Chains A and B, each alone.
Chain A
């Protein structure tokens, strides 16, 4: 918030600084607050909500983990090696491409991380096909990352995409080793365990990683993954 003394807005021959606007906005906010009642009805939370939050929680946890986890592939590799005796493998084919990814398997989880020499903008992606009843309930879009959570019919599906620029990692929890998967000609891996499916795949030429996490069955998740398209969401 530098330059608070400079004019943020000039109107009607007057210059308004950041401080002017801050004071006026504070007064406007105070005026808006006067209509709220002093005594509010107690809110109750349904069991369904509590369960929904628990399911959504895993997606948020991964997102935060991605932001917090070590920032370089080498750092992650060393940390996992020294801490958990991780088995680290690299995608040999991807080495020749724009995007390279590594996986590290430790007891209870598999971590992926990605590096691209030419990571640009993640853009916006959405799923064109979803099972009936699922609707987008939350969308997050920031630089190099996007996430859409779909809920409905007692199911949840979280679709995420992010730049494989080495700044983060993706972690799949569980003991499943996963199976190879192909999504629209792109290589990926599918994990299915305890009624939960995690699918991860990458577009090497664009340097973008896609993931889907859901309690739907694997075939449905794969079909949804095939429908990924670039652009604004339609089904929301």
Chain B
């Protein structure tokens, strides 16, 4: 099945990188999907969506085995899961957060604090907001690239990013 994905890539370098991604993270992708989805079929749909999203950014990945790439893979799978849940429940985009929290109740991975108040503020944000900031500032993707990764419109991506920055600003000012 890997061959199907590879046939969508042009160069051998892209294919080699994607093979590494696929082999390194396939189990992880299903594990993350399992945190949000119970049905095997749904997990497969989410992982397939994430793999296709990764096809579009394979060139931007410098080191497939880095922690940064691992974060990206987890984040994309999670977003695909939430998107699938959203579609199944017929909710609108604004309800993603509630669905995510409900689906992954008790599995929020972010705990503890750092010595940096900005990091602490980001850690205390909503998951969705935090992830949009991570895609923008840690991974360096533009709003158009984020839109492509998550399968949403550019306007929606821009609004989510603006909302995330407003949320972060609110937390920082409340902690002042």
A24 and B122 contact, Cβ closer than 8 Å, known pairs A9-B168, A43-B29, A135-B87: yes
A61 and B8 contact, Cβ closer than 8 Å, known pairs A28-B110, A43-B30, A140-B151: yes
A43 and B90 contact, Cβ closer than 8 Å, known pairs A11-B169, A16-B118, A53-B4: no
Interface string of B101-117 (1 = CB under 8 A from A): 00000010111101010
How many angstroms between the C-alpha atoms of A72 and B17 in the bound complex?
31
Interface string of B25-51 (1 = CB under 8 A from A): 011111100000000110011011100
Q: Quick one: closest B residue to A236, CB to CB?
A: B87
Q: Does the CB pair A60–B114 fall under 8 Å?
A: no
Q: Quick one: closest B residue to A146, CB to CB?
A: B153
Q: Does the CB pair A27–B49 fall under 8 Å?
A: no
Q: Does the CB pair A136–B109 fall under 8 Å?
A: no
Q: Does the CB pair A25–B133 fall under 8 Å?
A: yes
Q: Does the CB pair B41–A48 fall under 8 Å?
A: yes
Q: Quick one: closest B residue to A50, CB to CB?
A: B1
Interface string of A6-43 (1 = CB under 8 A from B): 00111111101010111111111111111111001111
B142 proximity list for chain A (CB < 8 A) = 1
For A, the interface residue count at a CB cutoff of 8 angstroms equals 58
Whether a CB of chain A sits under 8 angstroms from the CB of B175 is yes
Q: Quick one: closest B residue to A124, CB to CB?
A: B153
B4 proximity list for chain A (CB < 8 A) = 53-54, 57
A32 and B151 contact, Cβ closer than 8 Å, known pairs A12-B175, A53-B48, A56-B48: no
Q: Does the CB pair A40–B74 fall under 8 Å?
A: no
B40 proximity list for chain A (CB < 8 A) = 46
How many angstroms between the C-alpha atoms of A138 and B107 in the bound complex?
25
Q: Give B11 Cβ to nearest chain A Cβ, in Å.
A: 12
A68 proximity list for chain B (CB < 8 A) = 10
Whether a CB of chain A sits under 8 angstroms from the CB of B134 is yes
Q: Does the CB pair A12–B45 fall under 8 Å?
A: no
How many angstroms between the C-alpha atoms of A31 and B134 in the bound complex?
12
Q: Does the CB pair A35–B109 fall under 8 Å?
A: yes
Q: Does the CB pair B27–A40 fall under 8 Å?
A: yes
Near B by CB (< 8 A), chain A positions 126-169 give 135-143, 151
Q: Does the CB pair A138–B110 fall under 8 Å?
A: no
A→B interface (CB under 8 Å): 1, 8-14, 16, 18, 20-37, 40-43, 45-46, 48-50, 52-54, 56-57, 60-61, 64, 68, 124, 135-143, 151, 236
Known: A25-B138, A26-B68, A32-B74. 14 other contacts (CB 8 A): A8-B137, A12-B173, A21-B118, A24-B118, A24-B119, A26-B138, A27-B116, A28-B119, A35-B109, A36-B31, A48-B44, A53-B1, A64-B8, A137-B87
B→A interface (CB under 8 Å): 1, 4, 7-8, 10, 26-31, 40-41, 44-45, 47-49, 52, 55, 67-68, 70-71, 74, 83-84, 87-88, 90, 107, 109-112, 114, 116, 118-119, 121-123, 130, 133-134, 136-138, 140, 142, 144, 147-148, 151-154, 165, 168-169, 172-173, 175-176
